[in-house]
Structure 1
Amino acid sequence: MFKGSIVALITPMQPSGEVDYASLQRLVQFHVENGTDAIVSVGTTGESATLPVTEHVEVVKKTVQFTDGAIPVIAGTGANSTQEAIDLGNEMQDLGVSGLLSVVPYYNKPQQRGMIAHFNAIADATSVPVILYNVPSRTVADIDNDAVAELSHHKQIIGIKDATGDLSRLADLKTKVADDFLLFSGDDLSGCEFLCNGGHGVISVTSNIAPALMSQMCKAAASGDFATAREINEKLVELHTTLFIEPNPVIPKWALYKMGLAQYPTLRLPMVEPESTSQATIEKLLQAMGILA
């Protein structure tokens, strides 16, 4: 069900801070038309940290409606409260999502046994496939490979998004997890090599801006044409880096605004628009790539 280029979609907003559903529909169509394999709705890039539950659910609901079954939607449902994550997952599974992306609990700094218990409880409570999400640069907590291996045998836990960028973890994970467990990169810069070394897909920020190239790169790697995958990725390396010169999703939102796909570059406080130097940097790159005139 899940493979290839999966976009970690932004949540477009109006200057008032309200969600811009017209732009969201435009973005979803952009991905359907450009070969994106699935959408993660309201994950980190979708500003999940600042969307209250009712709004979070509504954005996912609208995203499912806008795809109209063309590609799967994975709902971001993580929380550092196990019960909150369960409750959110239960709401999402009734919306027609194809999966849940559940982040390692942040701030609490749970032990490995605590993380195992947390994810087992979430998986026990849902009928929708669960993908683990490890991003220690944001959560501080870091689930280790042995814990992931144990969780990989739960029938509802089908994969992990690994945003560490550490390819040695991938090599080790492949020897430990269940045979059908899916391995996704959450780090665009190392995503191509992740695929070439046995990964199944990339949950990508870059795909917000260059979905067709990301799709082509992922398809080439999946077919075993690693030379072509690396050649395509070379065209994306500077974009992978530039999108993170300020905290995500500050630069992706500005880029999509300049591309005319998001009506406004608005972010939820405490995030604000990029510095003028950053604006100039991304705009110059998009022009060099032929994305902007």
Structure 2
Amino acid sequence: MSPIFEGIGVAMTTPFKDNQVDYDAFRRHIEYLIDNNAQSLIINGTTGESPTLSDEEIKNLLKTGVETVAGRVPVIAGTGTNSTQKSIDLSIFAEETGADGVMLITPYYNKSNQRGLIAHFTAIADQINIPVILYNVPGRTGMSIEAETVLELSHHKNIVALKDAVGDLNYTINVLNLVDSEFSLYSGNDDNLPDFTALGGKGLISVVGNVIPGEMQDIYEGMKAGDQTARSRFNTLMPVINAVQIDVNPIPVKALTAELGFGEYALRLPLLPLEEEVRQPIVDTFNAFRKGVRV
């Protein structure tokens, strides 16, 4: 099976205005991302603050996203929760709405063992007919999908990829050595894009891509083409990548999406905006990068 996408998928932020979803800003952000060469859009993921969104907001964001994208790039819906049945319901809704795939995080808080993970993901994938990306982020969920578990799940016809946010390339290597070459791995860490691509990854589901998708896609394409300058060019992006990692995601990156005009600099509790003495240097770093100034 062909990958859902190759290169940079963007884990989109959710813009707010007066603590309500700003759908106009969301549409404008989508246009910006497509115009700047994002290869896929991921809606209602962790970066989108999905745990704080109402069911109605989650559904309206996905509907708006699918309608606005209009088939120009794949739309992937974050539908994973710590409830198997709720994840099934959201995944069915995503398919009916026109999403091109779903992304399923491991259950959090009521975390399971590996047998439970296989049963959980299989139960969801059995109920839909669009591709499934597994999402492994143990730093947030408190558990990991073992490489052998990924292998077993990869045999399901709908489970076609893994977002690997483990942050340990030895894990990536172990998975790649086990799964079929048609099973796609996407990094979940902006800072390891060159190394992940060199190992055989199909791209990145990116946070920093919310503001510099084209630059990140250029690095991916350069790495795939064997461009010897790709790594040095990637180093010029590191100040912006480091800036969006200075605090818990998506707190820093939303300072930059706000700078671009995509919603207010606002988050929903329990997340709070950065204090001004921290926010302003991040914005300064980003603006210096946009002007071509090395920082």
Residue in structure 2 matched with residue 203 of structure 1 by the alignment: 205
State the alpha-carbon separation in 2 of the partners of residues 291 and 132 from structure 1: 37
Q: Contact between 1:4 and 1:222, CA under 8 Å: does it hold in 2? A: no
**1:246 CA displacement:** 1.6
Which runs of 4 or more aligned residues in structure 1 lie more than 4 Å from their structure 2 counterparts after TM superposition? none
| Deviation at residue 240 of structure 1 after TM alignment | 1.5
Equivalent of 2:16, from 13, 17, 23? 13
Using the alignment, how far apart are the partners of 1:198 and 1:26 within structure 2?
Answer: 33
* Secondary structure in structure 2 of the residue aligned to 1:221: helix
**With structure 1 as the length reference, what TM-score do the two structures score?**
0.96
Counterpart in 1 of 2:250? 249
Q: Structure 2 residue aligned with 1:175, among 174, 177, 193? A: 177
The 5 Å alignment of 1:27-106 reads 27-106=29-108
Cα distance in structure 2, aligned partners of 1:175 and 1:211: 29
Corresponding residue of 2:266: 266
3-state SS of 1:173 partner: helix
Q: 1:78 to 1:181 in 2, by over 3 A?
A: same
Question: Normalization by structure 2: what TM-score?
Answer: 0.95
Deviation at 1:222, TM superposition (A): 2.4
| Secondary structure at 1:29 match in 2 | helix
Alignment CA distance shift 1:223-1:292 (3 Å): closer
The residue number in structure 2 matching 1:145 is: 147
Is the CA contact (8 Å cut-off) linking 2:251 and 2:273 kept in structure 1?
Answer: yes
Match of 1:109 in 2: 111
Q: How many angstroms apart in 1 are the aligned matches of 2:64 and 2:14? A: 11
Paired position in structure 2 for 1:279: 279
Question: Partner residue of 2:128?
Answer: 126
Preserved contact between residue 193 and residue 220 of structure 2 (Cα < 8 Å): no
Work out whether residues 243 and 251 of structure 1, in 8 Å CA contact, stay in contact via their aligned partners in 2.
yes
- The question of whether the paired residues in 1 share the 8 Å contact of 2:240 and 2:289 is answered with no
Distance 2:71 2:270 in 1: 34
Q: Aligned equivalents of 1:179 and 1:211: distance in 2?
A: 26
- Deviation, 1:234, is 0.6
Distance 2:69 2:233 in 1: 27
Alignment RMSD: 1.4
Question: What is the percentage of aligned positions where both structures have the same residue?
Answer: 39
